Structure 1
Amino acid sequence: MGKRKRMKPSVVAVQAQIQLLPSRRSSNRAVTSSSGRLARSAAEPPAPTPPFIDEQQAVGRDRRSSRGLEPGGRFEPSLEIYNMAAVDTATKEMEALHVGQNEETKADLIKEGKTANSNGVVPAAQSSPPEDDDEAQADDPSQDGAPEAAKKKKKKNKSKKKKGPLQQTDPPSIPVDEFFPSGEFPEGEIQQYKDDNLWRTTSEEKRELERLQKPMYNSVRRAAEVHRQVRKYMRSIIKPGMLMIDLCETLENMVRKLIKENGLQAGIAFPTGCSLNWVAAHWTPNAGDKTVLQYDDVMKLDFGTHIDGYIVDCAFTVAFNPMYDPLLQATRDATNTGIKEAGIDARLCDVGAAIQEVMESYEVEINGKVFQVKSIRNINGHSIGPYQIHGGKSVPSVKGGEQTKMEEGEFYAIETFGSTGRGFVQEDLECSHYMKNFDVGHVPLRVAKAKKLLGTINNNFGTLAFCRRYLDRLGETKYLLALKNLCDSGIIQPKQIHEIKDFLLTARRKDARSVKIKRSKDVVKFKVRCSKYLYTLCVFDAEKANKLKQSLPPGLSVQEV
């Protein structure tokens, strides 16, 4: 046979091929895909009966029609019209089958290919051969002697539901990186520098530096996105009456899921701090703690995430009583002011002065008494290094701090603490945070249990902070003596709890009724009973306890047991 010339398909030809696609697969698909078009053409007159042509001419014409072209290259609509008429007939028969005919009648109709068209038009599946001759031989049951093939029932065209965009579950359980398959995580709020025109570098150099630091930024943004989703969910479920230990474990388990915890590569940066009322920071419940969140409590919820050691440290305050709203607003505005003032070459003392000015411009009325909000002097923000939550520089929240400047490439946590007391903290109560000393070298250990515990800490936390609950989760038991040995050796640094030194302010309240002092071997507990709550202070130094007892206001009932 001679070579057949390929013709360039015109736009019309391509459209014709698309229109003919349903009839290539099966008549059932043709019915389904053409139902909409047939509904529109139901009112049209029936298609005319095709004129008589000889067999040889019909074969050549049908082959050209399958390509949608006349011999002269024109579009030939006749095949499309015949297909429409045949499909219309098949559709009516299928509707009749659905109304009341049994399965046997349905199989006979499919086998015989009957058409009740008054014009005598043959169905499309019989009138036009398929494009490929090999397909025609394989599909024709009369040629290969397999009549059973024609008895096969046509499969219904099941519509596949299109998958919508991936959405986070409630509570969140899908890892964050599955929402960003490209690996590019969203940017947070970006503060523009005030004096960007004073840089000694060109814009091209800055863009090149940004490109070099892009992998680091992406790790931080991934950790920040996990923090944002967990923070949003926890705000919606925190209610009075929750056990603090349950609250912390719910939060931490969610972080582990969303960040795909993987040893030192991804996970929790430090234990969840849930300090209540006069406790400013760094308190987390140990195993067995029964502390319950109350309606009048003010809780500082502080947790961190990290990817490859790049830490995101963020906290927020929860208060159910609207009486404390001005206090929360003061710290919120002071924090935003500190973020705006921070930047390359900004002096840390200037950032602290701006924070204090905003913080102490607020007042709060508590139980009929007005207090000025004060910035706590001895709790600071800090720089953050890889696997190091405190990088060496401190950001004060009051004026008169260091003249040290912020430098390019540094990470900072701007932390502000507002208080209705004297604005000073002391380190008391039981220790719950621990962290390996970042600069410690090799220290010989004689206790075997301490060596084993140090290996567990190195493999799971490195120089990141941890708590006793984390050791319990890893299966460690009876480790307190070994942990004390590591602390005494200088390898592990215990992070003491900061408590606001306004116990005396509480004792001087008008609704303060009595003070009970309970002494034991290692601790002295002071309990102040007020009209609505009981405040407990634990002092581990006997000399401090005696001074505190002498400072109690006269006329207050003091009972020592």
Structure 2
Amino acid sequence: MGSKTPEDHRQGPDPSSAHPIAALNPPKPAVASGLLPGVLEGQDEDGDDDGDNDKSAEPTLTLANGEPSKGNKKKKRKFSKKKAKKAQQTTPPRVPLADLFPNQQYPEGEIAEYAERNLQRTTAEEIRHLSAIKNMDAEFLNDYRKAAEVHRQVRQHVQTIAKPGISMSQLADEIEDGVRALTGHQALDTGDALKAGMGFPTGLSLNNVAAHWTPNPGTKEVILQYDDVLKVDFGVHVNGRIVDSAFTVAPNPVYENLLIAVKAATNTGLKEAGIDARISHISAAIQEVMESYEVELNGKTVPVKAVRGLSGHNILRYKIHGDKQVPFVKTKTSQRMEEGDVFAIETFGTTGTARLRDDLHVYGYGRNEGASLAGVHNHQASAKALLKTIDDNFGTLVFSKRYLERVGAKNYHLGMKSLISNGVVECYGPLVDVPGSYVAQFEHTVLLRPNFKEVISRGDDY
């Protein structure tokens, strides 16, 4: 899920906020801010050992010559052993990962060495190093690997059905039903969506719409066409640990170079990401790769441009956008990546102007941690009830109208309007380039572990 670049990015909430989710993401020091297949192990036996093999319990008869009789030896019972059947994923994927991985050990992401690392650390850096090791414990890694495995399985299915003729509503349903089935959390009961499930609203952005479009209830149905360029961007979380990954579908091969350019730029960002890596360096490398490509459309050669107004970003617990950003164009910033950071490395390339504007439609909503109901006067009762529903079911996770109505919210429009006007809830809309242009996106999540980085969402598909 793309984050707005620094000049467009809203400042974070008041650090003094007492919101419960805030405690999960303590502030960083100032220097930081500038399928392995699842196998069911074991075998079943057809019978139980009832003690007949206990030799000490066997009676002994002797012949007249004193030798033991051979005829009274008890035959040993033979047991047939059968291997337990391996659990298999269905198509579409609906078998919970708990059944595929009964030992709850999920596959690692792609392990890669850091391209560059500053080994000279100050005392403060050593403290952060120890903190990162403590935070990236077994529970942390297992939650992330489970979320990544769910994402891989669902997106691999989606890539087989995202073809001309499918509607955006059907595609969103397939993604969301798959994520909820595999995590084992249907997001129907109060608080269930906070345990595991969708990390943010499913993004299905077509053509010049770069990001943040999702099908909403009551809107006109949109059907994928042969000449469309579709960005599929969705997140999966387990216990608030969010995996963010995206890919682009273009049925018409004329857009192949556009997709190649953006994928190469994303891979460059992943390669350059690492502990102490300068974000300004990463951004410059991404832009250089992206803009070395061209695409031929309607007999004209069009340069691929790196999009401005969006950026990659670090991910905090229950918060898809943290306080660090990785633009796709050369930028001046003192920010660096650190041990323990989790980054969504994504890039957008376009055949348009590369300067995005906000569209009027609604993509989703996000709770502002630092705001309260103190200033809300209009429709206070409905606003108060709606805010309780938001806090109980989503916390600081971004959600959509579809998700809100899934947990039973009704007649919430006036209450939502009041919450938005008073800054308690933020509203997000689609970001678009000029009509007639085409935008592509690729994205992966990477964990900056103390000794190596783990591209947690990497799979065989891309």
Report TM bin, short chain.
0.7 to 0.9
Which structure has the greater CA radius of gyration? 1
Matching of residues 5-16 of structure 1 within 5 Å = none
- State the Cα distance separating 1:185 from its structure 2 match: 1.6
- Indicate whether 1:178 and 2:99 are aligned: yes
Cα deviation per residue 1:138-160 (whole Å; 9 max; x = unaligned)?
Answer: xxxxxxxxxxxxxxxxxxx9977
Task: Choose which of 173, 188, 199 in structure 1 pairs with 2:109.
Answer: 188
Structure 2 equivalent of residue 481 of structure 1: 414
Cα deviation per residue 1:226-278 (whole Å; 9 max; x = unaligned)?
Answer: 11111111101111111111110111011001012233121111000000000
- State the Cα distance separating 1:198 from its structure 2 match: 2.2
Tell me the SS of whatever aligns to 2:310.
Answer: coil
Matching of residues 3-402 of structure 1 within 5 Å = 57=63, 61-62=67-68, 65=70, 127-128=71-72, 130=74, 162-196=83-117, 198=119, 200=121, 209=133, 213-261=137-185, 262-289=192-219, 290-402=221-333
Instruction: Indicate conservation of the 8 Å contact 2:232/2:248, yes or no.
Output: yes
Look up the equivalent residue of 1:128 and give its one-letter code: N
Look up the equivalent residue of 2:291 and give its one-letter code: E
Q: Distance in 1 between matches of 2:171 and 2:197?
A: 18
Matching of residues 425-464 of structure 1 within 5 Å = 425-441=356-372, 443=374, 445-446=376-377, 447-464=380-397
Unaligned runs of 5+ in 1: 1-20, 26-54, 66-126, 133-156, 507-561
Look up the equivalent residue of 1:57 and give its one-letter code: L
Q: Distance in 2 between matches of 1:444 and 1:273?
A: 32
Q: Distance in 1 between matches of 2:301 and 2:340?
A: 43
Q: Distance in 2 between matches of 1:197 and 1:375?
A: 29
Cα 1:212/1:369, change in 2 over 3 Å: closer
Unaligned runs of 5+ in 2: 1-48, 54-60, 186-191, 438-462
Look up the equivalent residue of 2:63 and give its one-letter code: Q
Look up the equivalent residue of 1:473 and give its one-letter code: R
- Indicate whether 1:470 and 2:403 are aligned: yes
Instruction: Indicate conservation of the 8 Å contact 1:388/1:438, yes or no.
Output: no
Instruction: Indicate conservation of the 8 Å contact 2:133/2:340, yes or no.
Output: no
Q: Percent identity?
A: 47
Q: Distance in 2 between matches of 1:286 and 1:273?
A: 11
Tell me the SS of whatever aligns to 2:360.
Answer: strand
Cα 1:415/1:58, change in 2 over 3 Å: farther
Cα 1:56/1:499, change in 2 over 3 Å: closer
- State the Cα distance separating 1:472 from its structure 2 match: 1.9
Q: Distance in 2 between matches of 1:490 and 1:296?
A: 40
Q: Distance in 2 between matches of 1:352 and 1:367?
A: 31
- State the Cα distance separating 1:173 from its structure 2 match: 1.4
Cα deviation per residue 1:419-447 (whole Å; 9 max; x = unaligned)?
Answer: 00111100012112111113324535442
Cα 1:58/1:432, change in 2 over 3 Å: farther
Cα deviation per residue 1:320-354 (whole Å; 9 max; x = unaligned)?
Answer: 00001100000000000001111111111111100
Tell me the SS of whatever aligns to 1:493.
Answer: strand
Structure 1 equivalent of residue 341 of structure 2: 410
Cα deviation per residue 1:170-199 (whole Å; 9 max; x = unaligned)?
Answer: 221111133323322211112211344725
Tell me the SS of whatever aligns to 2:177.
Answer: helix
TM-score (norm. length: structure 1): 0.61
Tell me the SS of whatever aligns to 2:361.
Answer: strand
Cα deviation per residue 1:471-524 (whole Å; 9 max; x = unaligned)?
Answer: 222222222111111111111100121011x23x67xxxxxxxxxxxxxxxxxx
Instruction: Indicate conservation of the 8 Å contact 2:132/2:340, yes or no.
Output: no
Superposed CA RMSD:
2.7
Tell me the SS of whatever aligns to 2:111.
Answer: coil
Tell me the SS of whatever aligns to 2:330.
Answer: coil
Instruction: Indicate conservation of the 8 Å contact 1:172/1:230, yes or no.
Output: yes
Q: Distance in 1 between matches of 2:132 and 2:429?
A: 43
443-452 or 427-436, larger mean C-alpha shift: 443-452
Q: Distance in 2 between matches of 1:231 and 1:443?
A: 42
Look up the equivalent residue of 2:309 and give its one-letter code: N
Cα 1:489/1:293, change in 2 over 3 Å: same
Instruction: Indicate conservation of the 8 Å contact 1:177/1:222, yes or no.
Output: no
Cα deviation per residue 1:30-49 (whole Å; 9 max; x = unaligned)?
Answer: xxxxxxxxxxxxxxxxxxxx
Q: Distance in 2 between matches of 1:192 and 1:207?
A: 21
Q: Distance in 1 between matches of 2:252 and 2:136?
A: 48
Q: Distance in 1 between matches of 2:131 and 2:416?
A: 48
Tell me the SS of whatever aligns to 1:264.
Answer: helix
- State the Cα distance separating 1:56 from its structure 2 match: 5.1
Q: Distance in 2 between matches of 1:166 and 1:210?
A: 34
Tell me the SS of whatever aligns to 2:236.
Answer: strand
Cα 1:208/1:311, change in 2 over 3 Å: closer
Instruction: Indicate conservation of the 8 Å contact 1:345/1:407, yes or no.
Output: yes
Tell me the SS of whatever aligns to 1:415.
Answer: strand
Look up the equivalent residue of 1:244 and give its one-letter code: M
Look up the equivalent residue of 1:266 and give its one-letter code: A
Instruction: Indicate conservation of the 8 Å contact 2:136/2:340, yes or no.
Output: no
Instruction: Indicate conservation of the 8 Å contact 1:352/1:401, yes or no.
Output: no
Q: Distance in 1 between matches of 2:244 and 2:268?
A: 18
Alignment length, in residue pairs?
365
Tell me the SS of whatever aligns to 1:483.
Answer: helix
Structure 2 equivalent of residue 495 of structure 1: 428
Cα 1:194/1:59, change in 2 over 3 Å: farther
- State the Cα distance separating 1:163 from its structure 2 match: 2.2
Higher relative contact order (CA 8 A, sep 6+): 2
Cα 1:197/1:165, change in 2 over 3 Å: farther
Instruction: Indicate conservation of the 8 Å contact 2:118/2:276, yes or no.
Output: no
- Indicate whether 1:420 and 2:351 are aligned: yes
Tell me the SS of whatever aligns to 1:471.
Answer: helix
Tell me the SS of whatever aligns to 1:455.
Answer: helix
Q: Distance in 2 between matches of 1:483 and 1:215?
A: 36
Cα 1:474/1:130, change in 2 over 3 Å: same
Cα 1:294/1:494, change in 2 over 3 Å: same
Q: Distance in 2 between matches of 1:369 and 1:285?
A: 33
